[in-house]
C-alpha cells in the first residue's frame, strides 16, 4: 500500500501533521514555561519558591529514572540511592572535608555515576524483576551504611547547615540555580533520547533478543544508560543540597524510589516531559494534602490505582493519545 492510500495513508498523514504541529508549537510552549518559571519567584512567597525548586529537583530525578525505565525498559527499582549519594557526596565534601562547594557539586554526580557503574555491573547479568530486586538489596546496603556511620555521615540525623557560595546562598538565587541546571540537564537528556544511542536503547526495550541478533551489545548499552541515569540523579541530589542545605538518609531509602517510580507512571513514562509533570502533581499533592491529613500516603495510593486503571499511559501520554485521535477525526476527509 502506498503511503497516501487507504487507512495506511490516513495514519501516515496523521503522524506527519501531528509531527509538524509538535515541532512548531513545542519550542514556543517550552520557552513560555521557562519564562514563567523565571518570573514566578519575583511574585511568590518564599515557601512557594522553595516548592517550585523542589518540583524541579524531583522532576530531574524522575526524568533520569525514565531514561532507563521508560526508554530502556530496565527495572530500576532503587534509583533514589544515586540521588542520595549525590547529595551526601556534595555535603560531605563541603562540611567534613572542607573543600569548595563548587568542587562538591562536581564530586556528587561523579560519585553517583561510579556507584551506578558498580551496582549496574553486578546486576546487569540479571533481567526484569530479578535485576530490580538485586538492585534494591544493594541500594539498601548503601542506605544502611549511611544510616549507621554517625562519625562520617551524621547517621539518622543527616547533615544540616551545608554552607553555600554567596552567589546561590539566598532562596531565590538557589531556585534560579536549580532552574538553570535542571534546564541544561533536560536538554542533554533530550539529546541523548533522540540520539542513535537513544534509538538503540528503545530497540533493546522493545525486543532485546532481536537487538542482540543484529549485533547490539545489549548489556553494554544498558550499563551505559544506567551510568548516565545515575549521574543525573546525582545532579538532582546536589541541587537538593543547594536548595535545602541538608542531606539525610531518607533520600536513599527504597520508599523514595517507589515514589519516583509513581511519578514516572503518573506523568507518562513513555514521554520525555511526563516525569516533570508527574513531579509537579506529586510534590503539590504531598505538600498540600499533608496539611489536611496525616494519611496523605493513602491518597497517593488511590491516585496510583486510578492512574493504572484509567490512564495506563500517564497524564501526558493520555493527552498525546487524545491529540492523535483529534487529528485523525479531521484527516480522513482531507483531499
Give the tens place of pLDDT for each residue, 280-307: 999 988 888 777 777 777 877 787 788 7
Residue 118 confidence (pLDDT): 96
CA 170 – CA 162 distance, rounded (Å): 13
This prediction has a pTM of: 0.88
Distances (CA, A) of 335 to 5, 9, 175: 12, 12, 51
The number of folded domains in the chain is 2
C-alpha distances in Å from residue 318, one per residue of 21, 105, 267: 18, 37, 9
- Nearest-Å Rg of the Cα atoms of the chain is 21
**Is the CB of residue 174 less than 8 Å from the CB of residue 246?**
no
Q: Are residues 113 and 149 in the same domain?
A: yes
pLDDT-derived band at 8, boundaries 50, 70, 90: very low
CB atoms within 10 A of CB 95: 18
**Same-domain status, 74 and 102:** yes
The verdict on residue 87 lying in a domain is yes
Same domain, 101 and 23: no
Question: Is residue 317 assigned to a domain?
Answer: no
**What is the model's pLDDT at position 228?**
97
Q: Please report whether residue 267 resides in a domain.
A: no
Residues 98, 115: one domain? yes
Contact partners, residue 161, CB within 8 Å, separation at least 6: 95, 245, 246
- Confidence band (pLDDT; 50, 70, 90) for 49? very high
Residues 67 and 201 in one domain: yes
- What is the mean pLDDT of the segment spanning 154-170? 93
Do 90 and 142 belong to one domain? yes
- Are 5 and 109 part of one and the same domain? no
- Structural domain of 73: 46-252
**88-97 mean pLDDT:** 95
- Whether the CB-CB separation of 259 and 281 falls below 8 Å is answered with no
* Digit-coded pLDDT (tens) for 206-241: 999 999 999 999 999 999 999 999 999 999 999 999
What residues contact residue 308 under an 8 Å CB cut-off, 6+ apart?
265
Task: Choose the final residue of a domain: 230, 252, 274.
Answer: 252
Amino acid at each position: 500500500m502506498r503511503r497516501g492510500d487507504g487507512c495506511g495513508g490516513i495514519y501516515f498523514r496523521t503522524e506527519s501533521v501531528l509531527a509538524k504541529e509538535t515541532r512548531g508549537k513545542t519550542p514556543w510552549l517550552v520557552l513560555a514555561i521557562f519564562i514563567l518559571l523565571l518570573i514566578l519567584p519575583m511574585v511568590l512567597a518564599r515557601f512557594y519558591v522553595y516548592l517550585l525548586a523542589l518540583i524541579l529537583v524531583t522532576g530531574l530525578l524522575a526524568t533520569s529514572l525514565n531514561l532507563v525505565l521508560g526508554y530502556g525498559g530496565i527495572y530500576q527499582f532503587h534509583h533514589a540511592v544515586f540521588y542520595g549519594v549525590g547529595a551526601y557526596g556534595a555535603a560531605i565534601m563541603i562540611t567534613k572535608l572542607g573543600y569548595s562547594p563548587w568542587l562538591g557539586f562536581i564530586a556528587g554526580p561523579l560519585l553517583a555515576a561510579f556507584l551506578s557503574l558498580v551496582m549496574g555491573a553486578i546486576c546487569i547479568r540479571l533481567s526484569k524483576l530479578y535485576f530490580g530486586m538485586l538492585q534494591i538489596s544493594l541500594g539498601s546496603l548503601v542506605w544502611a551504611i549511611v544510616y549507621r556511620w554517625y562519625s562520617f555521615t551524621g547517621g539518622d540525623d543527616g547533615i544540616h547547615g551545608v554552607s553555600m557560595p554567596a552567589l546561590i546562598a539566598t532562596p531565590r538565587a538557589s531556585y534560579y540555580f536549580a532552574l538553570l541546571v535542571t534546564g541544561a540537564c533536560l536538554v542533554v537528556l533530550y539529546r541523548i533520547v533522540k540520539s542513535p544511542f537513544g534509538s538503540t536503547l528503545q530497540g533493546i526495550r522493545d525486543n532485546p533478543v532481536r537487538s542482540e541478533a543484529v549485533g547490539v551489545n545489549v548489556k553494554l548499552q544498558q550499563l551505559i544508560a544506567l551510568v548516565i541515569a545515575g549521574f543525573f540523579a546525582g545532579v538532582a541530589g546536589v541541587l537538593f543540597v543547594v536548595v535545602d542545605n541538608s542531606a539525610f538518609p531518607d533520600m536513599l531509602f527504597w520508599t523514595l524510589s517507589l515514589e519516583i517510580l509513581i511519578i514516572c507512571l503518573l506523568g507518562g513514562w513513555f514521554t520525555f516531559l511526563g516525569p516533570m509533570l508527574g513531579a509537579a502533581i506529586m510534590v503539590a499533592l504531598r505538600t498540600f494534602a499533608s496539611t489536611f491529613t496525616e494519611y496523605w500516603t493513602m491518597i497517593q495510593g488511590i491516585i496510583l490505582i486510578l492512574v493504572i486503571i484509567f490512564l495506563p499511559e500517564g497524564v501526558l501520554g493520555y493527552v498525546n493519545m487524545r491529540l492523535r485521535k483529534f487529528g485523525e477525526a479531521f484527516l480522513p476527509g482531507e483531499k
